[in-house]
Chains A and B, each alone.
Chain A
Amino acid sequence: MPFFAPIGRSTIAFFTIIGRVALFTLYSVSHCVRPPFFPRQIGRQMLEIGFYSLPVVGLTAIFTGMVLALQSFTGFSRFSAESAIPNIVVVSITRELGPVLAGLMVAGRVSAAIAAEIGTMRVTEQIDALTTLSTNPYKYLIAPRLIAGLFMLPLLVLVADIIGVLGGFVVSVFTLGFNPTTYLKNTWDFMQVMDVVSGLVKAAVFGFLLTLMGCYHGYNSRGGAQGVGQATTNAVVSASILIFLSNYIVTTLFFTQ
């Protein structure tokens, strides 16, 4: 049955990858919670993933907030519903756009960097060298990055939320002629704790996934510069897709009864 063979082959290949990633995840997480820990490495990764991502996340958030205000104004003025703009901006930013756009931007920056760095360490035998120096590469390389991703992304998204709402505020007040006090009051009144919390939970999930993909593809890269390049691409693509997928799942968990 030559027709069915390719289907079977690709199905098996698909589940092989799922299995590999699952084992890698289990193994990595188990090393995140068992000593020894490497606080110096964790601090370094927090700086790298969190602090140095601030400019790109901030810029993404401010323009998103601005565009959001502008677009909802052109749409909503047709129904004389301009007063809903503060509501729209704060709900969209905190629930969806803040975490997803920050996640995607950080995936492009951080997943790629992690995959390239760990991949290069793999092909230049630095990972083997770690092992011969009695240092588990999962503990020294992977765990600090996962922990940093898990904790820094919510912080980044919190900043993105604030800057995004600020972007909407600036456009509404300075080009659409809103009263600043009313705008802020409306924003504050409409905003619900659950909106922000769900966004931060998403951020933590994205942070874990995007560092995990960087580590997985970097750790398993083979064959010199080309292999590392391939790993980098795969890391960013798989991280982005997992962000969209998990975004849907988390949204379902939070907002459907």
Chain B
Amino acid sequence: MKSDAGYRVPKIQIRDLRKAFGAKQVLDGIDLEIATGESLVIIGGSGTGKSVLIKNIIGLIAPDSGSIMIDGTETTTMRHAERDRIMHKFGMLFQGGALFDSLPVWENVAFGLIQVQRLARPRAREQAIEILAQVGLPPEVADLSPSELSGGMQKRVSLARSIATQPEIMFFDEPTTGLDPIMGSVIDDLIVKSVRELGATALSITHDMASARRIADRVAMIHGGKIIWSGKVDEIDRSGNAHVEQFINGLAEGPIKMQVKG
């Protein structure tokens, strides 16, 4: 999508996004642009509104004010039918996996294929097994129940489910939380590989710096409901921003104070 001036419309463009829960202003004027094919990682402490931001973009939460454009189309004022169409572009890996525990692994992976693309079940099953192979899982796991899998395997199945419908935009909510460092690294590599193969745009949130460095093209830091710094991943060590310095080095002392109650 190129306009006359050669300006590429960003895949996701957010302007002055605000959201409060009660008296707590969680998002306080977020401005963010993500280019097509770019992988942006948002870092920030717990409770700084990272998840709320993603849920606003997907449409699981309605913002109080501000604008969210996907491919140049405003989504905050969309009606249900249009929102459904936009939703087809999204894939999301949830923090806890969020696998449907009433369905076997293969039906989890094939869920979008069966419900949305209306694929016949035997065909969807074959495809699910292929996708499971892409995330390094053998065909035997297809008939297991999600509760029979380890945390790392659940994450892989969840990743398989989110890439199954070949989304244009992928969201990753704390992809390495709860995993050991080796499994975390494996999942990061799978994320990078899947995003590259899909040619997708990726938005991840994490507080794991090792993971952020592996996944990101660009990093943005959220603090106090605002994006306080953003830059290329290799610039992060010379950001010149005291908040970023404190966060990436994990220092107890610095401008960021732990808030017990917001």
Contacts and interface: CB of A to CB of B under 8 A. Distances in A.
A128 B60 contact: yes
Interface stretch (A68-76, A130-138, A226-234): A130-138
Interface string B78-122: 000000100110111011101111100000000110011000000
Given A133-B111, A133-B165, A134-B112, A126 B99 contact: yes
B55 interface: yes
Contact of A135 (B96, B101, B115, B161): B115
A132 B90 contact: yes
Contacts of A126: 98-101
Contact of A129 (B59, B88, B100): B100
Contact of B112 (A125, A128, A133): A133
Contacts of B95: 125
B58 interface: yes
Interface string B13-29: 00000000000000000
Contacts of B92: 128-129, 132
Interface in A125-156: 125-126, 128-135, 140
A132 B116 contact: no
Interface string A11-43: 000000000000000000000000000000000
Interface in B66-88: 84, 87-88
A132 B96 contact: no
B98 A125 contact: yes
A126 B161 CA distance: 12
A182 interface: no
A117 B112 CA distance: 21
Interface centre among B98, B99, B165 (most CB of A within 10 A): B98
Contacts of A124: 96, 98
A121 B102 CA distance: 10
Nearest to B121: A40
Nearest to B173: A125
A134 B112 CA distance: 7
A82 to B, nearest CB: 52
B165 A129 contact: no
Interface residues of B, number: 26
A140 B115 CA distance: 10
Contact of B98 (A117, A128, A134, A135): A128
Interface string A101-141: 00000000000000001000100111011111111000010
B84 A134 contact: yes
A134 B118 CA distance: 12
Contacts of B58: 131-132
A128 B116 contact: no
Contacts of B98: 124-126, 128-129
A125 B111 contact: no
A197 to B, nearest CB: 36
Nearest to A126: B98
Interface string B147-171: 0000000000000011001000001
Contacts of A125: 94-96, 98
Contacts of A133: 111-112, 115-116, 161, 165
A184 B99 CA distance: 55
Contacts of A131: 58-60, 87
Nearest to B113: A133
Contacts of A132: 58, 60, 87, 90-92, 162, 171
Contacts of B171: 132
Contacts of A140: 115
A134 B162 CA distance: 12
A128 B93 CA distance: 11
Query: Can you list the 10 inter-chain pairs with the closest CB atoms, starting with the nearest?
Result: A129-B98, A125-B98, A132-B92, A125-B94, A134-B87, A134-B116, A133-B112, A126-B98, A135-B115, A128-B60
Interface of B: 55, 58-60, 84, 87-88, 90-92, 94-96, 98-102, 111-112, 115-116, 161-162, 165, 171
21 contacts: A117-B102, A124-B98, A125-B94, A125-B95, A125-B98, A126-B99, A126-B101, A129-B94, A130-B100, A131-B60, A131-B87, A132-B60, A132-B90, A133-B112, A134-B84, A134-B87, A134-B112, A134-B115, A135-B111, A135-B115, A140-B115
Interface of A: 117, 121, 124-126, 128-135, 140
